[in-house]
Amino acid sequence: MIALAAILLSDLFAVVMLFGVYSLLTAALFMDLDAVDVAFTEAAVGAGVTTVLMLSSLHLTRRWEALPRRKPLLGLLVIGITGAALVYAVLDAPLLGDPTAPVHQHVTPRYLEQGAEEVGVPNLVTAVLASYRGYDTFGETVVIFTAGLAVLLLLGIHEDARMRPGVSAIGDQVVLRSVVKPLLPLILIFGLYVQFHGDFGAGGGFQAGVIFATAFVLYELVFGEGSARAVVPPGWLHRLAALGVLIYGGVGVYSLLAGKAFLDYSALATDPVHGQHLGILLVELGVGIAVFSVVLLIFYAFSGRSRRQ
């Protein structure tokens, strides 16, 4: 329903807001399907960061879609054929909740049974993410870093004279300032909690990095760009992003130098389970730092760009 409305509307502001609602509903659906970590990430990233970035780019481009649209016939034909093929394929799919589905047969029982002892961490998603499938997560961190690089190349971070600390478009709003100021430390503490508690409950590096970045985005929205850039200068963010990736890669290289495989955490301590704990801690820290700095960097790039008429 929301998807249909998003297609048919031409006011892009409404489309972006509906997309935020769609992301939130998807996060609720994930909660219902027992995927708590994924729901957390989707809510923080999809309904938070993506909406803010899209609104910034709407401000920099156009709010309204140019009508009349093209003829929809060819597009409908293509999706009709593709949709029919997909529905035919889906009829063979394993039913919802079926424990004999192929997903649960091969690697999953090993993770479920031996994950808690081998890795020593109750949150199996963190165990698989940071330990069993650590290479993929390293690749993902590098992808985020590359995206930050790409946005920097495309947009750059502008500092001009309008951005003085204390100047803000909505800075005279007493209610907003007095509510947001005490709220920010709480958001940051929550981000730290999610980062370090990710071993035991839902959470981990990605969610924590995004929450940390959202606190600073909120600060920039209410108090102005100058104040935000005085608190976290853009030059730091470049270095922090690189530092995050470096920590992750550094753990891997240290394992190599200690004589084992890349990202083999048993090289970090004498007791393998301790090594796993230490490895996961360092790796999640690297991921959190990288995600935080790249998200904030992208936001700085978008918000510093002025409309050139």
Partner 1 sequence: MMVILEWLSGLCLLLGGVLCITGGVGLLRMPDFFSRVHASGVTETLAAPLLLSGLLLQMELSLDSVKVIMILILVLATNPTATHAMAKATLHGGQRPLEFANDKDIGGDGLSKP
Partner 2 sequence: MNYLPGIFNYLVVVFLMMAGFYVVIAQGNLIKKLVGLGLFQASVFILYITMGNISGGRAPIVVEGVTAYSSPLPHVLILTAIVVGVATTAVGLALAVRIHEAYDSVEEDQIHAEDIAADEALMDAKTTGREDDRR
Q: Which residues contact 155 (CB under 8 A, 6 or more apart)?
A: 301, 302, 304, 305
Q: Which two tokens stand for residue 44?
A: 């923080």
Q: From the list partner 1, partner 2, none, which binds 175 (C-beta under 5 to 8 Å, kind-based)?
A: partner 1
What is the nearest approach in angstroms of partner 1 to the Cβ of residue 270? 33
Partner from partner 2, partner 1, none binding residue 65, C-beta < 5-8 Å depending on class: partner 2
171-190 positions binding partner 1, by CB under 8 A: 173, 175-176, 179-180, 183, 186
Of 219, 209, 211, nearest to 184 by C-alpha is 219
Closer to partner 1 by CB, 145 or 223: give it: 223
Nearest approach, Cβ of residue 257 and partner 2 (Å): 27
Closer of 101 and 179 to partner 1 (Cβ): 179
Burial class (CB in 10 A: 0-12, 13-18, 19+), 36: middle
Q: Least Å distance between CB 290 and partner 2?
A: 10
Min dist. Cβ of residue 176 to partner 1 (A): 6
Residue placing its CB nearer to partner 1 in the complex, 198 or 286: 198
The DSSP element (H or E) to which 226 belongs, if any, is helix 225-231
Residue 166 · residue 227 · CB < 8 Å = yes
Shortest distance, position 179 Cβ to partner 1, whole Å: 4
Structure tokens at 271: 């007791």
Number of residues interacting with partner 1: please give it, by CB under 8 A. 7
Q: How distant, in Å, are the alpha carbons of 154, 217, 250, 277 from that of 183?
A: 33, 13, 35, 32
Per the CB < 8 A criterion, the answer to whether 226 and 167 are in contact is yes
Beta bridge partners of 11: 64
CB neighbours (10 Å) of residue 82? 10
DSSP one-letter code for 146: H
Of 227 and 244, the one with the shorter C-beta distance to partner 2 is 244
Q: Which does 198 bind (CB under 5 to 8 A by kind): partner 1, partner 2, none?
A: none
Minimum Å gap between C-beta 61 and partner 1 is: 20
- What is the closest distance, in whole angstroms, from the C-beta atom of residue 170 to partner 1 in the complex? 8
CA distance 124 to 131: 10
Instruction: CB nearer to partner 2: give 133 or 177.
Output: 133
How far apart are the C-alpha atoms of 234 and 229, rounded to whole Å? Answer: 7
Judged by CB under 8 A, the stretch of 132-140, 168-176, 207-215, 252-260 that binds partner 1 is: 168-176
In the complex with partner 2, which residue's Cβ is closer, 154 or 175? 154
Residues in 182-241 that interact with partner 1 by CB under 8 A: 183, 186
Beta bridge partners of 64: 11
Q: Give residue for tokens 């994950």.
A: 115
The Cα–Cα gap between 260 and 246 comes to 19
Shorter beta-carbon distance to partner 2: residue 83 or 166? 83
137 binds, among partner 2, partner 1, none (CB under 5 to 8 A by kind): partner 2
Q: State the nearest-atom distance from the C-beta of 176 to partner 2, in Å.
A: 26
| 173 interacts with, out of partner 1, partner 2, none, CB within 5 to 8 A per kind | partner 1
Question: 61: buried, middle or exposed (CB in 10 Å: 19+, 13-18, 0-12)?
Answer: exposed
Closer residue to partner 2, CB minimum distance, 23 or 227: 23
The contact set with partner 1 (CB under 8 A) reads 173, 175-176, 179-180, 183, 186
